[in-house]
Amino acid sequence: MKSVHLRRGYVFSRFAGAANIKPVRAPLPEKITIPLGSGYGKESPALVAAGEKVAAGQIIGRDDERIGSPVIASAAGTVGAVEKHAVVIETDRTAAPERFQGRENWETLSAAALGKILYESGITALGKDGIPSDYKSSPLAPSDLKHIIIHCLEDDAFNISWSALLDDELIRRSLTGVKILRAAFPSARLHLAVDRRLTGLRKRLEADGPDPAAVPVYSVAPKYPMHSHEVLIAELLGTDMPWGFTPIHMGIVVNDWQLLLHCFEAVVEGKPLIERLIALSGPGFRENLHVTARIGTPVSRIVNEYLRQDVTSRLVLNSPLTGERITDPERPIDHTFSQIIAIPEKTEREFLAFVRPGARRDSFSHTFLSSLLPVKKTADTNLHGDDRPCIYCGYCEDVCPVNIIPHLIYHNAVKINVAERLLQLKIFKCMHCNLCDYVCPVKLPLSEGIRQGQERLIEAGCDPTIGLQPYYDLDGFDAYRGKK
């Protein structure tokens, strides 16, 4: 098993509020809203009309001519309304639990047949740019796919706790999922990146897993932002990703461990992608657990039961560092959800905050007691400090996973803004993992400044999709300035 250790980056350890209970099933709401564009791809036109009866797993939106994947009804019921971007289904809560036709003999199926099953189950919409199939579910044809990277990492401050979830049954299912993926994409090489701390899974993969020569398994140190596709591709495959590229441009699909479970359910059990496993993490929840929720369930129906009442919490999708804020509690769950984090909003002005011992405070520096004590750390949304000019402490450079100097690029982008200088400092290498923002003691918005610099460069004529590194053609700039 190859060991992978990111040189820079940051280890988020011991945060209170990790989801650690076996999944519970969220109750089926009266009304589910299924977005017509769920996951990767264009919105599909609805195939159903208001008043029609639908079964769970039925395809209610499909367009094989445009890039995208079918939309699946996640519960049985009557179509209430077909809105512009979504289908509302009034669920039939008296119906018996749906049964799906399993396939005992899936191993005899061809790659094309497996691809069809994955497409019609809606699984091909998963991931940053979909999973290739013969039906335009992704910009790439399945035969052009070179690598599939599946990661099982707990490197963020809050994650789906695979360590708590993966029991024998789930590991068995995911091993079958590995077989399915290999059968469905015979041309692609599968890579499994497994967190170093998940010893149970790693042992099972060594014992019963696929041949390590064909499917390499990597033991990965849990350093943020290891799970991001830029870092995974660079560390596992050794190829740098030009800025503006997505993995699919390079014939690579990166996805998390849930894909394997979805593949097992779709192919072996015949159950399309109608449910997502969602971790409720963060100190804003009374109880931190994993919830299996139907796609289309409003966020509020899942979280309200478990939210703490004594604090107001901010709901963040998937990652506390890069995730977006969930402002609309009625937003339906879709394919992109894997975790909802509740971080308490702390607007109260803490008395003498900077001299407290800080046994439960996280910091990149070791100036808090928490670096000595094995105590769970808390998280909140407070800035924890005032804005000051940069003091060149070098923390941002120390943690930067792509080896650039964030504070230097920030100053150049915000104050000086000379295109050649920005390009020389490799501004387009930044992938916005936001780690520099996190560690900055003077609370500079480094990542945002770099983003502005990138946008200004693109406006000025840099084509982000051709990959500007390693050398930028200055002729283009001279022409832009009217010299030629």
Partner 1 sequence: MRKLLRALFDKMLASRIFYPVKPVVKAADDFFFGTPRVTSRAPHMLDNLDIKRYMSTVILALVPSAAASIVFFGWRAVMLIVVSYVAGGLVEVIFAVIRKKPVEEGFLVTGLIFPLILPPTTPWWVVVVGIVFGVFFGKEIFGGTGRNIFNPALVGRLFITIAFPQIMSTSWLPPFADAITAATPLMIYKSTHVIPPLWNLLLGQTAGSMGETFRLGVIAGGLFLMLTRVSNFRTVVSYLGTVAVLAWIGNLLFPAQVAPPLFQLLAGGLLFGAMFMATDPVSSCYTRAGKWAFGIGCGFFTVLIRSFSGYVEGVMFSIVFMNAFAPLIDQIVVRTKFRPMLKKS
Residues 385-404 that bind partner 1 (CB under 8 A): 385-386, 388-395, 397
3 state SS of 342:
strand
Residues numbered 459 to 478 that lie near partner 1 (CB under 8 A) are 471-475
The one among 43, 200, 345, 460 contacting partner 1 by CB under 8 A: 345
Provide, rounded to whole angstroms, the least separation between the CB of residue 400 and partner 1.
12
Q: Select the residue interacting with partner 1 from 355, 374, 459, 484 (CB under 8 A).
A: 355
Contact 436, 406 (CB under 8 A): yes
Smallest distance from partner 1 to CB 407, Å: 7
User: Is there binding between residue 381 and partner 1 (CB under 8 A)?
Assistant: yes
d(CA 456, CA 450): 10
Min CB(398)–partner 1 separation in Å: 8
Segment 359-368 long-range contacts (CB within 8 Å, at least 24 positions apart): 360/16, 362/12, 362/15, 362/157, 364/10, 364/395, 364/398, 364/399, 364/438, 364/439, 365/395, 365/441
* Contact flag: residue 232 with partner 1 (CB under 8 A): no
The minimum distance between CB 482 and partner 1, in angstroms, equals 18
111 touches partner 1 (CB under 8 A)? no
Compute the distance between CA of residue 481 and CA of residue 484 in angstroms, rounded to an integer: 8
481 binds partner 1 (CB under 8 A): no
Report, in Å, the least distance between residue 469 CB and partner 1: 10
As a whole number of angstroms, the distance between CA 448 and CA 428 comes to 13
Separation of CA 435 from chain center: 16
Would you call 332 helix, strand, or coil by DSSP?
Answer: strand
Minimal distance in Å, beta carbon 330 to partner 1?
Answer: 21
Candidate ranges 88-96, 114-122, 139-147, 355-363; the one touching partner 1 (CB under 8 A): 355-363
- Applying CB under 8 A, does 223 fall inside the site for partner 1? no
Instruction: Kindly give the pairing relationship between strand 313-317 and strand 217-220.
Output: unpaired
> Which one of 48, 171, 178, 423 is in contact with partner 1 (CB under 8 A)?
423
266/427 with CB nearer partner 1: 427
The distance from CA 348 to its chain's CA centroid, rounded to whole angstroms, is 32
The angle subtended at Cα 254 by Cα 249 and Cα 256, nearest 5°, is 160
d(CA 255, CA 133): 16
Q: Binding of partner 1 at residue 66 (CB under 8 A)? A: no
Question: At its nearest, how many Å lie between partner 1 and the CB of residue 230?
Answer: 16
Phi-psi region of 121 (alpha: psi -120 to 50; beta: other; left: phi over 0): alpha
Footprint on residues 143-172 left by partner 1 (CB under 8 A): 157
Out of 47, 250, 405, 460, which residue is the one contacting partner 1 (CB under 8 A)? 405
Nearer to partner 1, 141 or 418 (CB): 418
Comparison of 2 and 325: residue with beta carbon closer to partner 1: 325
| Window 286 to 325, contacts with partner 1 (CB under 8 A) | 314, 316, 319-325
Among 443, 461, 463, 479, binds partner 1 (CB under 8 A): 443
Total interface residues for partner 1 by CB under 8 A: 72
Kindly state the smallest distance separating residue 227's Cβ from partner 1, in Å: 15
Calculate the dihedral angle through the C-alpha atoms of 469, 474, 476, 480, rounding to the nearest 10 degrees: 120
Tell me which of 434, 449, 450, 462 binds partner 1, using CB under 8 A: 434
Rounded Cα gap, residues 424 and 472, in angstroms: 9
328 is an interface residue for partner 1 by CB under 8 A:
no
CA–CA dist 179, 190 (Å, integer) = 10
* 151 φ, ψ (degrees, to nearest 5): -115, 150
Hunting for tokens 């832009």 — which residue is that? Answer: 480
- What is the nearest approach in angstroms of partner 1 to the Cβ of residue 107? 43
Nearest to 434 by CA among 454, 448, 422, 413: 448
Shortest separation between residue 150's beta carbon and partner 1, angstroms: 25
